[in-house]
């Protein structure tokens, strides 16, 4: 079950799609600021015409970033379903104008944020986040620990997926594959054991002091 679901895990790139468009080259901070301004505009601009205009802006950004249309639409299917259900509900409750505005606003933000994510490698985004989190060192959150934790977490995800598969196999062998306790308790205990071993290994190497 885990094999088939692993396709999004194509490595440290995350949901980034490589390219050299102006949006790929723009600094992370500028893209995040633009996204925040768009979010503000979506809240402030009322009416279906304004909402559609903002959706056009987001779609134009996706075009400038040369997003592959097919993959983008596939990724949007769950949101489109939500937007359609929402539009139907709002049409019934408050009329057509409100239905268009609310569902289009939702699509606008999802498309625009998807463009920022697709044009920014996850590690650059995390660097930006680490810089933004630097003031938090005054409350005991050290930037170096943050970087180490991110690396450690990304390494641990595939290992835990494997653990979950092993635990599931073991439960199935005992005829307990529908017993959540037989699935979760061993997985969680092995997770904690793994974390403690990792902590000891980090300490032995002088990391994370």
By CB under 8 A, is residue 152 in contact with other proteins? yes
One of 52, 80, 113, 170 touching other proteins (CB under 8 A):
113
By CB under 8 A, is residue 192 in contact with other proteins? yes
Distance of CA 74 to the CA centre of its chain: 16
Q: In whole angstroms, how close is the CB of 164 to other proteins at the nearest point?
A: 6
Residue 103 to residue 76: CA distance in whole angstroms: 13
Joined together, the tokens standing for residue 173 give: 């062998």
HSE toward the beta carbon, residue 186, CA cutoff 13 A: 16
Contact set for other proteins, span 42-71 (CB under 8 A): none
By CB under 8 A, is residue 189 in contact with other proteins? yes
Long-range contacts at 73-82 (CB < 8 A, ≥ 24 apart): 75/114, 76/107, 76/110, 76/111, 76/114, 79/106, 79/107, 79/110, 80/107, 82/106
Distance of CA 113 to the CA centre of its chain: 10
By CB under 8 A, is residue 40 in contact with other proteins? no
Closest CA to 16 of 65, 51, 78, 52: 65
Q: In whole angstroms, how close is the CB of 138 to other proteins at the nearest point?
A: 12
Q: In whole angstroms, how close is the CB of 139 to other proteins at the nearest point?
A: 9
Span of 19-27, 46-54, 62-70, 147-155 interacting with other proteins by CB under 8 A: 147-155
Joined together, the tokens standing for residue 172 give: 């199935």
By CB under 8 A, is residue 138 in contact with other proteins? no
Contact set for other proteins, span 153-182 (CB under 8 A): 153-154, 156-157, 159-161, 164, 178-181
One of 48, 59, 97, 117 touching other proteins (CB under 8 A):
117
């Amino acid at each position: 079950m885990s094999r088939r679901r692993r396709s999004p895990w194509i490595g440290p790139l995350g949901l980034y799609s490589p390219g050299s468009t102006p949006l790929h080259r723009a600094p992370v901070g500028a893209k995040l600021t633009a996204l925040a301004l768009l979010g503000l505009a979506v809240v402030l601009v009322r009416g279906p015409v304004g909402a559609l205009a903002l959706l056009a802006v987001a779609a134009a950004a996706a075009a400038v970033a040369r997003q592959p249309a097919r993959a983008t639409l596939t990724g949007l299917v769950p949101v489109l379903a939500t937007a359609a259900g929402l539009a139907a509900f709002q049409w019934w409750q408050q009329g057509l104008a409100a239905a268009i505005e609310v569902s289009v606003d939702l699509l606008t933000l999802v498309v625009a944020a998807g463009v920022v994510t697709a044009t920014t490698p996850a590690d650059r985004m995390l660097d930006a986040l680490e810089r933004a989190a630097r003031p938090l060192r005054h409350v005991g959150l050290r930037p170096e620990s943050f970087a180490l934790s991110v690396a450690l977490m990304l390494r641990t995800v595939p290992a835990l997926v494997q653990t979950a598969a092993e635990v599931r196999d073991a439960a199935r062998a005992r005829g307990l594959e529908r017993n959540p306790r037989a699935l979760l308790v061993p997985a969680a205990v092995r997770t904690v054991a793994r974390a403690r071993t990792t902590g000891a290994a980090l300490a032995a190497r002088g990391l994370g002091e």
